[in-house]
Amino acid sequence: MKKCTRLLCIPFGLAITLSACSNEDASTPTSDSSGSNNNEETIELRVVTTMAGTDPGGLAFNELIEDFQNENDHISIINESQSADAGVIRTKVNTDFSSNNEPDLMFYFNTVDAQGIIDQGLVIDLEKAEDLNLEGFHELMYEQQRNENGGLYAVPQSGFYEALFVNEALFEEHGVELPTTWELYEEAIRAFAETDIIPVAVSTEDSYYLVEHYILAAGGIENFRAELSEQDEAWAEGLDKIAEHAEMGAFPVDAATIDLGASAQLFHSEQAAMLFEGSWAYGGMSDAGIADNVRPYYMPVYGDGGETGDLVGGASQGWFISTKAYEDDSKHDAVVDFFNFITSEESIVKIADATMQVPAKGSLSELPETVASGHALSEEATGVEAPINDRIYPEAFTHIRQSVPEIVNGSKTGAQVIEEAAELE
Amino acid sequence: MKSDKLYAFLFLAPAVAITAVFLYYPFFDNIRQSFYRTDGFFNSTFIGLENYRRLLEDDIALGATLNSLELMLYVSIFQVGIALALAVMVDSIRHGVRFFRTTFFFPVVISGAAIGLLFTLIYNYNNGLLNEILVRLGLERVLWLTEQSSLYMVAIPTIWSYVGFYFIILLTAISKIPADYYEAAKLEGINGFQKTIKITLPLIVTDMKTCLILAITGALKIFELVYIITRGGPARSSEVLGTYMYQKAFVDSAVGYGATLAILMVIIGLSLALITNILLKRDDVTY
């Protein structure tokens, strides 16, 4: 009995020790970020964004948080941002929302990724909230955030485009005409395939941009916008065209095993003349010292349903407010203040300035030539549509993407892959 | 006596609680999820045996299962085989046992991710180690990761990385064999090869059985090396159950179907462990 009592004392003693440690924190008076003490209770706001890791917007976002806290010393922002790489952010957001631990505000993908959260009513329809400032957004980007149910659950921060990045210096050096039309694009493939320069740096296994652009080329924006269930012929034709071009020697020998990073590396080291990428790729090209040689081009469209000038792009990420935080009287005002601050033109331009993306409000000035030409590409596009990847069931898109090597080796056809993907939806 | 039981209960309780929360609960929840079309979070629809029906018709899952079994065969033969050969050789030398023990065991302590990255760099077509050597020798570059070769190319680092583990087990088993046996056999005029075949191997058969079961069940868990080196490609030629399950559950957000693949892995693992046990069943050797 004596032994037993002693044993039970161990956890009890441990509990006292731990509570003594925690009391130390609790007894410390709360101080705000500016170091001043006041009677106003500090309100903590948890914010999740993708502005972390290698995202160049991370630094600007942290500075904005600091500015906001300096102006609102009763609000403390807990920044739980995670890099968008490898889907970590998706797991975090889904886990947080499904375990009743959602962030108060978040900057997240307003695509199929957010649909479950929206359907559950866990984020608010921003247009139904009276105290938010939704003025001044560029119309196209703003409307692209609108959900199928007509609600607006997120507002954009910046837009993006995907394009054919062309190393013009290599084209000039080898006397090849720039790929402004489909015929010239194919001519460039033939010409570079005869040299030691890879025509297009792609990964057929990790073929996000390749799939999007070849489907766009085969059917223009009209067919590109089709639902997967329609099994649009242009989609199948685009996939088959990848195999045809692989046969012509358009892609790296090891395209079926390298990933996007490795294929970009071929372009950065000027071992490849063209690359399909998004507007965020400018940073990598700049670091590699080739940005001045590179210009983004529209994917040449050869099929019916559009024209060269159509673009994959838009604004797929936006700022959300959680319903729980908005309806919490103790947090409501702080949430509204931070939302209005971070979506103000000044904040949006500051982050866009760091990322070189097209801002959702206002515009950037003094842009490097490559970035400026990308912005012009975006502004002058004959049609813009969000990537297929953002619109269809993830499993279906992965099936299309990962089947590209099988289309290339001839074991599957484009139509067969599209049919299989449609069955997964 | 009663207080002893109380002590036993108290000391076991944390382990039981942790195992229940982190092993048994997820395992049974995984079985539950396999009856749903779910992303594991918000979208969840009960579909009964639909995932299992899909599994039976899934060509990729079939290919991944066959690849896993093929990899299991290579691992069982070469990991345990090479480990046995090394253990017998190291046991027979007088000097440098510690050096070889450390050298052979070293890959085990390197993380799978690091080994995967290392072999990615070795196999790389444009700037990889193997092709750089070939180029220096005036030869053409070789595409090491093809549909025909990819499974062998991931088997090599998989085998290499775990040979040391079985080597240590078998070396320890050999070193426990009483020296009297060998001395008696030597007086009878037995040679080195016969010594291995007639004394060493029969006396460590229990340990070899353990190694085989570990190798077989371990092969089903192979994931990171394949994922990093080939990601199951090219054209799914090196897809194994681990990478396919990961893709479904975490890349495609099809957690329900991923859970069904996990069940398949458990069934295959348990069945093979059972079969191996039955096939290798014999009285344990004691000395």
The closest of A40, A109, A113 to A76, measured between CA atoms, is A40
Under 8 Å between Cβ of A417 and A400:
yes
Average pLDDT over residues A206-222: 94
**pLDDT band for position A104 (50/70/90)?**
very high
Taking CB atoms and an 8 Å limit, are A119 and B235 in contact across chains? no
Phi, psi at residue A102, to the nearest 5°? Answer: -65, 150
* Encoded tokens for B123: 């196999």
Under 8 Å between Cβ of B222 and B158:
yes
Q: Which residues pair with A198 in a beta bridge?
A: A272
Quote the longest CA-to-CA distance of chain B.
79
- pLDDT at res. A308: 94
Give B41's contacts in chain A (Cβ within 8 Å): 94-95, 97-98, 116
Cis peptide upstream of residue A368 (ω within 30 degrees of 0): no
**Which site among A12, A257, A407 would you substitute to test the B interface, given the most B Cβ atoms closer than 10 Å to its Cβ?**
A257
Q: Which residues of chain A are at the B interface, by a Cβ-Cβ cutoff of 8 Å?
A: 1, 3-4, 7, 87, 90-91, 94-95, 97-98, 115-117, 119-120, 205-206, 252-254, 256-259, 262, 266, 271, 394-395, 398, 402, 405-406, 408-409, 411
The closest of A238, A251, A253 to A189, measured between CA atoms, is A251
Size of interface A-B (CB pairs under 8 A): 80
Residue of higher predicted confidence among A331 and A56: A331
Average pLDDT over residues B235-246: 94
HEC string for B166-221: HHHHHHHHHHCCCHHHHHHHHHCCCCHHHHHHHHHHHHCHHHHHHHHHHHHHHHHC
Residue A391 pLDDT > 80: yes
Q: What does the alpha-carbon distance between residue A358 and residue A371 come to, in Å, rounded to a whole number?
A: 9
Average pLDDT over residues B1-16: 86
The string of pLDDT tens digits covering residues A28-56 is 333 343 444 455 678 999 999 998 877 77
Q: What does the alpha-carbon distance between residue A111 and residue A315 come to, in Å, rounded to a whole number?
A: 10
Residue A58 pLDDT > 60: yes
Amino acid at A262: A
What residue has token string 């599957």? A412
* Encoded tokens for A110: 């307003």
Neighbouring residues of A50: CB distance < 8 A, sequence distance ≥ 6: A81, A82, A83, A84, A89, A107, A108, A317
Taking CB atoms and an 8 Å limit, are A257 and B39 in contact across chains? no
Task: Calculate what percentage of chain A has a pLDDT beyond 90.
Answer: 64
Neighbouring residues of A259: CB distance < 8 A, sequence distance ≥ 6: A203, A205, A206, B231
Average pLDDT over residues B227-250: 92
Mean pLDDT for chain B overall: 89
Residue A256 pLDDT > 80: yes
Which of A76-90, A181-195, B156-170 bottoms out in mean pLDDT, i.e. has the lowest? A76-90
Residue A172 pLDDT > 90: yes
Average pLDDT over residues A130-138: 92
Taking CB atoms and an 8 Å limit, are B40 and A395 in contact across chains? no
Residue A192 pLDDT > 50: yes
Residue A390 pLDDT > 50: yes
Q: What does the alpha-carbon distance between residue B115 and residue B113 come to, in Å, rounded to a whole number?
A: 5
Under 8 Å between Cβ of B181 and B199:
yes
Length of chain B: 287
- pLDDT at res. A356: 84
- Highest average pLDDT, of A88-92, A260-264, B57-61, comes from B57-61
**B233 Cβ under 8 Å from any chain A Cβ:** yes
Distance from the Cα of B174 to chain A's closest Cα (Å) equals 43
Average pLDDT over residues A173-185: 96
Taking CB atoms and an 8 Å limit, are B234 and A95 in contact across chains? no
Taking CB atoms and an 8 Å limit, are B233 and A405 in contact across chains? yes
**CA-nearest residue of chain B to A4?**
B3
**B145 Cβ under 8 Å from any chain A Cβ:** yes
**CA-nearest residue of chain B to A88?**
B250
- pLDDT at res. B206: 86
Under 8 Å between Cβ of A127 and A328:
no
Average pLDDT over residues B253-260: 93
Neighbouring residues of B262: CB distance < 8 A, sequence distance ≥ 6: B30, B34, B245, B249
Residue A186 pLDDT > 60: yes
**B11 Cβ under 8 Å from any chain A Cβ:** no
- pLDDT at res. B218: 86
- pLDDT at res. A88: 77
**CA-nearest residue of chain B to A197?**
B126
* Encoded tokens for A143: 């409307």
The string of pLDDT tens digits covering residues B12-39 is 999 999 999 999 999 999 999 999 998 8
